[in-house]
Structure 1
Amino acid sequence: MNITEEISFLIESKKDKIIQVSDKIWEFAETRFEEFQSAELLIQTLEQEGFTVDKEVAGLETGFIGSFGQGKPIIAFLGEYDALAGLSQVAGVDSFQPINLRGSGHGCGHNLLGSGSLAAAIAIKDYMEDHQLPGTIRFYGCPAEESGYGKTFMAKSGLFTDVDTAFSWHPSTMNAVTHTSSNAVIHGHFSFTGRSSHAAASPHLGRSALDAVELMNIGVNYMREHMIDEARVHYAVTNTGGIAPNVVQPEAEVTYLIRAPHPTQVKELFERVINIAKGAALMSETKMEYRIEGACANLIPNATLEKVMHKHMDILGFPEVTSEEVEFAREIYQSTSQEDKITAKKQVGKPLSARLEAKPIADFILPYSENLSFMAGSTDVADVSWNIPTAQCVTSTWAFSTPFHTWQAVTQGKTTYAHKAMLLAAKTMACTAVEVLLNPELVVEAKKELIERLDGETYQCLVPEEVNPPKRSKSKTSLQAMN
């Protein structure tokens, strides 16, 4: 058997276990830094498969590293498993049906992401045993990708310094190996403290923290005209200081995400936002404090690894889909808004959009291109990519036109075509990793490319040294008790 055939056989032989893990994590739907059940399930599975596991790495209660083998090369697979708040949704239906209105859901498909990377790590372990190959395989259990930046904290702690290559993937509506960069981001939280008073009897004695938050938001909105086009700024008021209008609010808080294509640019923007917050405090005669919650850099692509990854994805192809799968995907496509459909069509062009309207599951592999694309969002995979050569792919776990972070993404998280796409990603990553094991020159070339792309720059973590991951209370209930 060749590499793709052997890896496919190894993953198919354990696909039922992997699918069960993915579906269980979908059910847990745990949000950032609270993925205790999800992490424990992944850890148990790794240990059953012969990996040794280091827990609570980099101060992350739900972060871990599973390792197998010894020596070089050291190959990392990155797994995520956090859900999103407010996206509770019944699986396998074509309409919005929350399980719990205040619940969470896997609107970015991280139940699939973590399980697919797990499948790749296990397959490579089995391949190494069968062929008696030296090397080390690591599965990085990475919590809180959604505005928590687990991998950034891992990179800050030096957990990737000895790794040779890293591989990851992401659920999508297409099958492709991505050559892309992204926005760097800083997540800042701003707290204002004023003085309470009766809003009618003695308003002159009060100093409104809520006024300060509003003034800050107005100031930042005026800043938007004077920043580069690629930058993004988003905010949410997290504490209004109360619900009584006749009380001058003594406290209020707002949280901000500031994005730009390069770490230096995002740092400059963040400093401007801090100055605006200081001005708001001065105008309202309140006190302001801020803290950085987390951050991540911009992605550094690696064509050397990506070309190998695309070769294997192209050979593997997308598995055959059934008429029932196509029909459900069509129902999901119809449920998306007209704006979503128009946006999706523009992204793929007329020929492909016509094909996908008729059959809304992308059962083909897009060609690879070294033309750099840009993602306005952010990912903490970026901090890994600044340290070691990193390659990623996407597979069509979702129907065409499915927006990220929506109930439509959640409801497809346990579909059979999502499982097929997850296993395709696992096979693609594992085949690429085999090439790394067998061809030391590939690592040399990938590292050389990374150095050239950095062009003299070195990794500087955007999270300050004194900032650590938050701690969450957790239940000691075992998985056996939950089952």
Structure 2
Amino acid sequence: MSKEALDEIVSAIERMRPACEVLSDRIWDLAELKFEEKGSSGLLAKALEEEGFAVRRGVADIETAFIAEAGAGKPIIAFLGEFDALAGMSQVAGIAEQRAVTTGATGHGCGHNLLGVGSLMAAVALANYLNDKGISGTVRYYGCPGEEGGSGKTFMVRAGAFDDVDAALTWHPAPFNGVRSTNNLAVLEYYYRFKGVAAHASNAAHLGRSALDAVELMNVGVNFLREHMPQDCRVHYAITDAGGRAANVVQAQAEVLYLIRAPDMPQALNLAARVEKVARGAAMMTETDVEIVFDTASTNLLPNITLETTMHENMMALGPVAFDETDIAFARRIQKTFTDEAIASSIRLYQIGRDVFSAAKIDGALPLHLGLRHFEGHSHFRAGSTDVGDVSWVTPTAQCWAPAWAIGTNPHTWQVVAQGKAPAAHKAMAHAAKALALTGLSLVKSPELMKAAKAEWMEKTGGKPYICPIPTDVMPGAVSS
């Protein structure tokens, strides 16, 4: 990447920063749940229209999904944006203690207010650069709803929204700066709904058939199953309907939600079939009926080392995030809410100590990542799941991470929400936008790079896109407990 091009992209994003920080904060305020992000989706789509993008709403029959496009011709570079929040994560911003704005309300516990806006900044900067220089290329921003438990991208992929994309780029807030290639797990979600017979729990219990007993027996059975499944698999559950609050009634209905994870989708499907047998066995033991309702799914992530290497090189050219003493002081206050084990785990997990740049400690501690992690050139196991995986199976895909959070911060915690409007988070957002835009420009300017990224994708997939096996009659957000 030439210094001139780098400077132009960086300057363009810096000019956008004030307005985009306001936009990110407005989305933080809205904190809308999966597939309900009408306000957040609308704000992002409007901002892109004002920048000259043509916006198509309602993609894949999802009201809050959209595609914004600028430019013309090949290649087609996609930037992925998310903007959904989490239930029960309400938290006052800018303080280092747990305090809800409204008890039980929603909150941006995964930083998607930053993610969506950062990707928007990258798309706008790259589109304007190509237009100004008269360079062929199409830039798309994908407004992707429902990443948290909704798998919005999975449905968008099923609808063919990414079929003509040459490469997809994204990022995520984190406690570290850099590229970390990961193999995420495939995941399937099912509701197991048991129906029994109500009865008085004391004088007519023999007439009852307890759906709650069935749920509990299923959970016990699956717990025994854990010993006999591959060690990289994961199974989690939550009882979403215990059948009522009266203890003297045999519960006639009960429901449990299961997330079934495995290194790839075929393994996940095999494990789901075994869980189904446990559920049906529980129903047989209790003389109840069970309905198994598919909710959603996401395919495991397919890393593209070619793209990730280029992204890392662009992050090296950018240098570290320019945090100041105020940023460090707030991060230190947040970090005091963590155990030493959590901080050490964060440093170890993300290998923050292996830095390209010098990352001097501040007063003997490392509250924010002040450097850039070393890129190993190979993938790591990561037990989480993301619908970015579904995009990666239809087009070469890469993502980076930017240090929006104090070291030790875990996603889906009140500490993430508390840091969501902080100046440090805004700086990380802009930094990620620069890395994404520069990587997009690298792909546009280098047909050889694009060819190499596609060749790697072809080798790993056999040239056949993999579409997650969601039943054709399942629509996003259709299942509720």
Q: Is this a same-fold pair by TM over 0.5? A: yes
Matched to 1:182, the amino acid is N
- Which residue of 1 is the match for residue 77 of structure 2? 75
Partner Cα distance (2:464, 2:153) in 1: 20
> Could you say what secondary structure the match of 2:361 adopts?
helix
The amino acid that maps onto 2:467 is Q
1:158-201 per-position Cα deviation (integer Å, ceiling 9, x unaligned): 11110000000000011111211111000111101111111112
Q: Distance in 2 between matches of 1:164 and 1:419?
A: 29
Question: Structure 2 CA distance, aligned partners of 1:256 and 1:232?
Answer: 10
Structure 2: distance between partners of 1:100 and 1:472: 26
- Measured against aligned partners, the alpha-carbon deviations of 1:403-430 in whole angstroms (never above 9, x if no partner) come to 1111111100111111111101000000
Please state whether the residue corresponding to 1:254 is helix, strand or coil: strand
| TM superposition score normalised by structure 1 | 0.95
Which of 277, 280, 291 matches 1:278?
280
Question: Closer, same or farther in 2 for the Cα pair 1:411/1:9, shift >3 Å?
Answer: same
Separation of aligned partners in 1, 2:161 and 2:333? 44
Whole-Å separation in 2 of the counterparts to 1:207 and 1:348 = 50
Match of 1:113 in 2: 115
| Contact 1:7-1:427 within 8 A present in 2 as well | yes
- Between 349-358 and 75-84, the greater mean CA deviation after superposition: 349-358
Measure the CA separation in 2 of the matches of 1:329 and 1:145. Answer: 27
Pick from 365, 368, 377 the counterpart of residue 358 of structure 1. 365
Q: Which residue of 2 aligns with 1:430?
A: 437
Q: What is the match of residue 446 of structure 1? A: 453
- Cα drift, residue 454 of structure 1: 2.3
Q: Does 1:188 align with 2:190?
A: yes
**Cα offset, 1:303, TM superposition:** 1.3
Residue by residue over 1:77-112, the C-alpha shift from the partner in whole angstroms, topping out at 9 and shown as x without a partner, is 000001111110000001001111111111110000
Partner letter of residue 225 of structure 2? M
Q: 2:412 is matched with which residue? A: 405
Is the CA contact (8 Å cut-off) linking 2:176 and 2:350 kept in structure 1? no
Is residue 336 of structure 1 aligned with residue 347 of structure 2?
no
Number of the residue aligned with 1:45: 47
1-side partners of 2:376 and 2:262: how far apart? 24
Q: 1:269 to 1:201 in 2, by over 3 A?
A: same
Match of 1:23 in 2: 25
For residues 32 and 109 of structure 2, the distance between their equivalents in structure 1, rounded to whole angstroms, comes to 12
Paired position in structure 1 for 2:257: 255
The equivalent of 1:478 in structure 2 is none
Q: Distance in 2 between matches of 1:150 and 1:31?
A: 12
Alignment of 1:462 with 2:469, yes or no, is: yes
Letter in 1 for 2:88: G
Alignment of 1:85-164 (within 5 A): 85-164=87-166
Task: Tell me which amino acid in the other structure corresponds to 2:408.
Answer: S
1:2 match: secondary structure: helix
Deviation at 1:306, TM superposition (A): 1.2
Partner of residue 392, structure 1: 399
| Structure 1 runs of 4+ with >4 Å offset | 348-354, 455-458
Does the residue aligned with 1:292 lie in a helix, a strand or coil?
strand
Q: Is residue 77–residue 167 contact of structure 2 (8 Å, CA) maintained in 1?
A: yes
Match of 1:317 in 2: 319
Distance (whole Å) between structure 2 residues aligned to residue 74 and residue 349 of structure 1: 33
Q: Which runs of 5+ in 2 are unaligned?
A: none
Distance 2:142 2:393 in 1: 16
Tell me the distance in 1 between the aligned counterparts of 2:323 and 2:465: 45
TM score, norm. by length of structure 2: 0.95
Contact 1:117/1:426 (8 A) holds in 2: yes
Q: Which one-letter code corresponds to 1:265 in the other structure?
A: Q
Letter in 2 for 1:299: L
Deviation string 1:186-232 (CA, Å, 9 cap, x unpaired) is: 01111011111111121111111111111111111110000111111
Q: 1:214 aligns with which of 216, 235, 242?
A: 216
Q: CA deviation at 1:338?
A: 3.5
Contact 1:169–1:425 (CA<8 Å) still a contact in 2? yes
Supply the RMSD in Å over aligned alpha carbons: 1.7
- Secondary structure of the 1:393 match is strand
Higher mean Cα deviation, 267-276 or 355-364?
355-364
Describe the superposition over 1:110-159 as per-residue Cα deviations: whole angstroms up to 9, x where unpaired: 00000000000110111011101122111000011111100000111111
**CA distance, structure 2, for counterparts of residue 323 and residue 350 of structure 1:** 20
Number of residue-to-residue matches in the alignment: 473
With over 3 angstroms needed to count, the CA separation of the structure-2 counterparts of 1:354 and 1:374, relative to structure 1, is farther
How far apart, in 1, do the equivalents of 2:10 and 2:31 lie? 29
CA separation of 1:9/1:463 partners in 2, compared to 1, >3 Å: closer, same or farther? Answer: same
Compared CA separation, residues 57 and 472, structure 1 to 2 (3 A): farther
Q: Quick one: structure 1 residues 63 and 370, their matched pair in 2 at CA, closer, same or farther if it must change by over 3 Å?
A: same
Q: For the residues of structure 1 that align with 2:122 and 2:190, how far apart are their CA atoms?
A: 35
SS in 1 for 2:78: strand
Q: Structure 1: which 5+ runs fail to align?
A: 474-483
Q: 1:269 to 1:457 in 2, by over 3 A?
A: farther
Tell me the percent identity: 48
The DSSP-based 3-state class of the residue aligned with 1:429 is helix
**What are the Cα deviations for residues 343-381 of structure 1, in whole angstroms up to 9, with x where unaligned?**
224335695799376231112111211122011000000
- 1:289/1:351 Cα in 2 relative to 1: closer, same or farther (>3 Å)? closer
Q: What is the alpha-carbon distance in structure 2 between the residues aligned to residue 336 and residue 359 of structure 1?
A: 13
Paired letter, 2:475: N
Q: 1:309-365, CA deviations, whole angstroms, 9 ceiling, x for partnerless residues?
A: 111111111232221111111111111134312322433569579937623111211
Conservation of the 8 A alpha-carbon contact between 2:321 and 2:371? no
Deviation at residue 264 of structure 1 after TM alignment: 0.8
SS of the residue 2:409 aligns to:
coil
